[in-house]
A = this chain, B = another copy of it.
Amino acid sequence: MGQRVGVTLGDVAGLAGVSRATVSRAFTRPEMLNTETVERVRGVAERLGYVGNQAARALATGRFGNIAVIVPDIANPFFPPLVRTLQSVAEEAELAVFLGDSDESLEREAKLVTRLGSQVEGFVLASSRQSEELIRNLAHTRPVVLVNRDLDGIPRVLIDSSGGMTEAVMLLKNLNHRHLVSLAGPRDSWSDQQRRTTLAEASATTGLTVDIIEVGRPTYTAGRDAVTAITASGATAAIAFDDVVSQGVLAGLALRNISVPQDFSLIGCDDTLALLTTPALTSISAASAPAGRAAAHLLIKTLQSPTTPTAPRITIPTHLITRATTTQAP
């Protein structure tokens, strides 16, 4: 059976000469108690170094005081700022946060969710690759907030790249590009699908040709390796799934002595590498830190009023940030 872990409620009760219930109340409902009692109990607790046992509390109340955030790849620069603000907001609400990295794998994401499900109040799923069905099942069990995924009736915060994406296409058109390539990312990512759709619309409107090259997992290497296909396509400009991929493309282009932007124009997404590249990358903004904050607030709100009439939904618009990787078509 369970072994003593440390100082318990009972220990404090004994030394303070009160019942365990009183000790409990001294922490959770001090207003119910005589001020003096509260102080005495807290004093004893402090002296003993008493720290409440979360597991026991969770078992008794059904509340865990924990939330989980699941991301496909914490090493992708889009996510750390999101996780950072999320955790900061959670902390203010006295919530501890589990981090799950699904490694872009649907199965691992599912495993994480089940594993964590029994000890969290709710989930934030960022760029979830899960099937709609699984997410709905989960949301049926506990509050779920989605980031960059849109499912009717589930709270979510979306970074809507359509604005920036449309601006990107417009810019390239105005610069006389006629033929672009889109470096598409993970197929089961909502963001990727949204970008595909917007791109299709924009190309229809503008009459530009857009080839699609799938890079799959968005990495530096994937971008660099895509350059063969890019040059083969004959396009004069590319829009990449994210800045990490762009970074790779930039490197691959340099290897072939293709200069950016003179010979080729390039636009990234998420604006995570900001001024880190040379030339500085034209990119589509994506406020991941605010998205994390918003998601945290949404989740906390849902936790407080379980029966929300309609799911709160936040959409963060994007825009194109023109820097130095785009210019007139050669």
Q: Chain A: residues with CB nearer than 8 A to chain B?
A: 1-3, 5-6, 51-56, 58-62, 64, 66, 73-75, 77, 79-81, 83-84, 87-88, 91, 94, 96-101, 103, 108, 111-112, 114-119, 141, 247, 251, 273, 275-278
Contacts and interface: CB of A to CB of B under 8 A. Distances in A.
6 contacts: A51-B114, A75-B81, A77-B77, A83-B99, A88-B103, A96-B100
Contacts of A53: 59, 118
A62 B2 contact: yes
A56 B54 contact: no
Nearest to A55: B58
Given A56-B59, A62-B3, A98 B101 contact: no
B98 A2 contact: no
B87 A99 contact: yes
A185 to B, nearest CB: 19
A2 to B, nearest CB: 5
Nearest to A6: B141
Contacts of A273: 276
Nearest to A95: B115
Contacts of A52: 118
A276 B275 contact: no
A74 B62 CA distance: 30
Contacts of A118: 5-6, 51-55
A108 B90 CA distance: 13
A50 B54 CA distance: 22
Contacts of A54: 55, 118-119
A55 B64 contact: yes
Contacts of A55: 54-56, 58-59, 64, 118-119
Contacts of A116: 96
